[in-house]
Amino acid sequence: MSPSTHRTRIKICGLTREADVDAAVAAGADAIGFVLYPKSPRFVAPERAAELARRLPPFVTPVLLFVNENATNIEAACAHVAGATMQFHGDESAADCVAVARTTGRPFMRAARIPAPPAAMPDLVNFTHTFSAAQAILLDAHVDGYGGGGKTFDWTSLPPNVPAHLVLSGGLTPANVSDGIAALRGRGYSLAVDVSSGVECQAEDGKLLKGIKDAGKIHQFVAAVRAADAQVLTAP
């Protein structure tokens, strides 16, 4: 097997500051996510996302996260951020996603919100067929609102064979990401991971400073992912 077979791509999401973008790039992140959902505490305006994205070197992809946004605003945001991938995290239909992908010329990911208990699991294989035009299916825990809850879901409840590139999200941290990779590796065409709250700073009372990242946690997260990849490559 070649090393690329098991290289897990990494996205750091919900960035709002230059220092955090720089830290994510220095740590080796493959993609940087900007939340363009006004109700999110990690929201940045398209113009601010563009300022931050200009700090990215070649081959690090900016990702713009939308929740039930209208096509006009999505097109305007994409015009601000060159080379961005779109991430749809609301109730967008396949037709909605394909239409805006066609007008913007940008690829997109579609989030699948995984509920608890597993008995309530939607038909993920059918979901991936419905959104077959998506570059990847992002798996996140179903929480009130749309994402950003820092909650994991039952990774073992997923089907063994999902016909899509998968992105694992929801409650990942430097401490548990290797377990998530082990649980999902091989279930899709490839696997990536997406972290936000798990690499954020904490206030003195222990609450997260949403949108404010901790450079040390970012480096720890990336190191944990690379260690998980290395275990596969050295396994007998």
Q: What are the Cα distances from residue 136, in Å, to 54, 108, 113, 209?
A: 24, 7, 14, 29
Q: Which of 187, 81, 171, 189 is nearest to 134 (CA)?
A: 189
Residue 25: phi and psi, rounded to 5, are -65, -45
Report, as residue numbers or ranges, the catalytic residues.
13, 140
Buried b (16+ CB within 10 A) or exposed e, 180-214: bbebbbebbebbbbbbbbbbbeeeeeeebebbbbb
Scan for tokens 């300022």, then name that residue.
51
210/16 Cα distance (integer angstroms): 9
